[in-house]
Amino acid sequence: MKAARLFLCLAAFLGITLAGTPADADELVRFESVPVKLSPFRIRKAAEQGEILSQPLGMPLLGYLSRPQGDGPFPAVVILHGCDGLRLSIKELWPQRLVRWGYAVLVVDSFTTRNIQDTCQSPLPDRVFDAYGALNFLSKQGFVDIGRVALMGFSAGGTATLEGTKIEGNEQLMDRKFKAAVAYYPVCAASQGDATVPILILTGDRDNWSPAERCRKRLAQLSDDSPPIELTIYKGTYHDFDAPEFTVGRKVLGHIEKYNPDAAEKSIRSVYIFLRKHLSN
């Protein structure tokens, strides 16, 4: 009973709608990741050798689609989960919040169809292609304004978000583009270079899983032509600081995951302002 009361208080504090959400929430949908395109060199070499190339196929994926009431078209957000999969705050709380703000939301499940439990100690699939597969899926939904879609990722999903929006990455191979990106506690790299869209990075100064210093180094190397990257570092804050399911806190593989209500509230406000700025008409 006390746990339920605590969760309700947290929900109220974070502005989460638990009942009567104005959305067709959590509709299970199926789509495919964008297939890896054959390079012109590979195609030319195959032609020279008389080799017949088969067209690469995308990976079948699952997703959870939520939308506001009405016909739209609505701006939208594609969400990528972390290495531990679809936890509560990513599958339910963030979509509820975003829908209330007026966004359609597609949470990508990158694990189920790959028979993966987690990737916290194993190689990650290239989830950039999952993100753009989700964007292609949304382009076929009449209630989505495909010109106003942001990519949002958490932890490993945040890292994929940065990889999917860097100037010399696979983004250049994609037919459709995101308009903005939000990355919660990602692993940054100075080698990621300039961004292709405005990016908001939110992390904690005590996060030794996704060190903030790496993000500072990337920002220091941006050119004058790069879209802006905003970096906010919350003091005294660990990994997963926005997730109320980690209120007690835990240690995983030597890294602390702990909810911080003050940092969570401030970050949510920053995301709201950022999306309003970059996904407005």
Domain ranges of the chain: 2-278
The reported pLDDT for the residue numbered 66 is 96
Taking Cα atoms as reference points, which of 165, 194, 162 lies closest to residue 179? 165
pLDDT at residue 136 above 50? Answer: yes
pLDDT at residue 250 above 90? Answer: no
Looking at residues 68-97, what average pLDDT do you find?
A: 94
Looking at residues 166-188, what average pLDDT do you find?
A: 94
pTM: 0.85
Residue 54, CA distances (Å) to 42, 123, 174 in order: 12, 26, 19
Which tens digit of pLDDT belongs to each residue from 52-77?
656 667 899 999 999 999 998 999 99
Which tens digit of pLDDT belongs to each residue from 32-59?
999 876 555 555 655 666 666 566 678 9
The reported pLDDT for the residue numbered 53 is 56
Q: Return the sign of the alpha-carbon dihedral for residues 21, 84, 262, 267.
A: negative
The CATH number of 2-278 is 3.40.50.1820
